[in-house]
Amino acid sequence: MILLSTMRTKLRSHLPHSPRAKRTWAGVAFLFGSVLVSASIFATGPHAAPDERVEKAWPVSTQTITPAELSPMFTAFGRIESAQTAKIQTDLVARVRHVPVREGDWVEAGDLLVQLDDVELALLVDERNAELARERAHLKSVQNDFALARSTTSNYKQVYDAAQKKLTRHQDLFAKRMIAQSLLDEVVQQASAASIDYQRHVRALENFPNLVAEARAGVERAQALAERAQIDLAHATIRAPFAGPVLAVMVSPGMHVALGMPLVEVADAESFEIRAQVPESHRELLRRHLAAGAPIVAHWEDRDVGLRRLAANVRTGQSGLDAFFTIQPAVARRAEVGRVVRLEVVLPPEAAVVALPVQSIYENDRIYAVEGDRLKALTVERIGDHLTADGEHRVLVRSPELRDGQRIVTTQLPKAISGLKVQPVS
């Protein structure tokens, strides 16, 4: 206080006496006083001790693991197809008389699909059968003639020999001038006629096998035409070649069909299968098991379907591997061609794998184990999915670092890292 009084006295002696100067000096004095008061407050105030920082322990849930042999699985969507589909066509020109089936109907093998008008075809069968009977009669006639010719050959030979002997005797008599020239000429004429008849018979006998062959060929041709007419008549009645659903009906009664015209399309129930695209992550595993002959089954609703084959499939804008699962004929009637279905594909068991919740997987190949109260990152191989006995979804992983009794984090932490302090909770 004495210091302030002294300073005020000194200042008062130096202050100017004009009003403006007085205001300026008053402001300076106020500012100076404020600075002194603030300095005294900071100098005499209490000092707070800094708080000690405590590391946070993140609460996590854990699962104690035991590596075991489990079957991986994956979900795929497929389409029901038929490996054998018959688009039935006609090789006749006829009018459609009756169509008893419709698209979507189920038919058994041999069921009537389309009935064509067969009146003209039946008449043609009768005509062909008549031609066949005529050709058979002709063959029988030629065979009889052949048999008769062979039986008369000795007679022709006897007549020929007798004529030649007679000619020889008359020539001797004519040389001895015992007969006239006219008689000799008559005997020569008789011998020549007998020779001609005999040679004609021999030639006819040699030609008879050709005549028999020709007649037999006529019978075979007539028989083929008759059978063809019978086939055409049978083709007028179009029946299902196998059991399955009718996919399409392209004709109706009253239509006239031409050669090669499609009539009905039917799918074979015994060739029903489900085509499903295999995810990239499971292709090699699926190929390996199929090559080893291991059974691979997929669950479809309340049915099981087995893997039949794999086929590479490249389509516009995509490429992949297609798996074909067989549908048993017993359940084929309930299958709808073209329907998209969901499959749960179960692969053969894998050894030393662990089933973990999806929340345990970080970036598809990393999990965290709890050692003490700290996290430790483990790199794992993702084998596939798995369904527990309770129907819960799990992810199968495998790693040489996994051991029995190890605690694995089943909580998805936003900033999980090795060394992070955690607090396991129930």
Share of the chain above pLDDT 90, in %: 51
pLDDT range class, residue 2, cuts 50, 70, 90: very low
On whether both 225 and 256 belong to a single domain, the answer is: no
* Residue 13 falls inside a structural domain: no
- Looking at per-residue confidence, does 97 or 48 come out higher? 97
On whether both 288 and 327 belong to a single domain, the answer is: yes
On whether both 208 and 125 belong to a single domain, the answer is: yes
On whether both 362 and 384 belong to a single domain, the answer is: yes
On whether both 323 and 383 belong to a single domain, the answer is: no
- Cα atoms found within 13 Å of the Cα of residue 399, Cβ hemisphere only: 21
Give the pair of three-digit tokens for residue 1.
Answer: 């206080």
pLDDT range class, residue 357, cuts 50, 70, 90: very high
- CATH code of the domain in which 187 resides: 1.20.120
Buried b / exposed e along 171-198 (16+ C-beta atoms within 10 A):
eeebeeeebeeeebeebeebbeebeeeb
Tens-digit pLDDT profile for residues 165-221: 998 999 998 888 888 898 988 989 999 999 999 999 999 889 999 999 999 999 999
Instruction: Give the pLDDT mean for 340-356.
Output: 91
pLDDT range class, residue 4, cuts 50, 70, 90: very low
Q: By residue range, what is the domain housing residue 363?
A: 60-70+351-425
Domains in the chain, number: 4
Please give the Cα distance from 246 to 103 (Å, whole number): 5
Instruction: Tell me how many degrees the CA angle 251-252-258 measures, rounded to the nearest 5.
Output: 45
- CATH code of the domain in which 93 resides: 2.40.50.100
Average pLDDT taken over every residue of the chain: 86
pLDDT range class, residue 261, cuts 50, 70, 90: very high
- CATH code of the domain in which 387 resides: 2.40.420.20
Q: Which residues contact 298 (CB under 8 A, 6 or more apart)?
A: 76, 274, 276, 304, 305, 306, 307, 325, 343, 344, 345, 346
On whether both 205 and 230 belong to a single domain, the answer is: yes
* Residue 12 falls inside a structural domain: no
In this prediction, residue 324 carries a pLDDT of 92
Neighbours of 76 (CB within 10 A): 20
On whether both 226 and 370 belong to a single domain, the answer is: no
On whether both 328 and 182 belong to a single domain, the answer is: no
On whether both 135 and 215 belong to a single domain, the answer is: yes
Place of tokens 């008369």: 152
Helix (H) or strand (E) holding 188: helix 181-235
Q: Is residue 95 classed as helix, strand or coil in its secondary structure?
A: strand
* Residue 378 falls inside a structural domain: yes
Q: 237-239 and 112-116: which strand pairing?
A: antiparallel
In this prediction, residue 406 carries a pLDDT of 93
Q: Which residues contact 295 (CB under 8 A, 6 or more apart)?
A: 306, 307, 348
Please give the Cα distance from 323 to 320 (Å, whole number): 10
- In the 8-state DSSP scheme, what is residue 57? P
Give the pair of three-digit tokens for residue 221.
Answer: 């041709």
On whether both 220 and 143 belong to a single domain, the answer is: yes
Q: Which residues contact 29 (CB under 8 A, 6 or more apart)?
A: 11
Give the pair of three-digit tokens for residue 150.
Answer: 């062979």
Q: Name the domain boundary from 346, 366, 386.
A: 346
Tens-digit pLDDT profile for residues 124-176: 999 999 999 999 999 999 999 999 989 998 898 999 899 899 989 999 988 88
* Residue 398 falls inside a structural domain: yes
* Residue 295 falls inside a structural domain: yes
In this prediction, residue 403 carries a pLDDT of 92
* Residue 19 falls inside a structural domain: no
Instruction: Give the pLDDT mean for 363-387.
Output: 90
* Residue 414 falls inside a structural domain: yes
Q: Name the domain boundary from 267, 282, 315.
A: 267
Asked if 272 contacts 299 with a C-beta cutoff of 8 angstroms, the reply is no
Instruction: Give the pLDDT mean for 413-425.
Output: 89
* Residue 30 falls inside a structural domain: no
On whether both 229 and 150 belong to a single domain, the answer is: yes
Tens-digit pLDDT profile for residues 300-327: 888 889 888 888 765 555 556 889 999 8
For the chain, the distance separating the N- and C-terminal CA atoms, rounded to the nearest angstrom, is: 70
Q: Name the domain boundary from 294, 315, 346.
A: 346
On whether both 278 and 139 belong to a single domain, the answer is: no
> Is 9's pLDDT higher than 60?
no
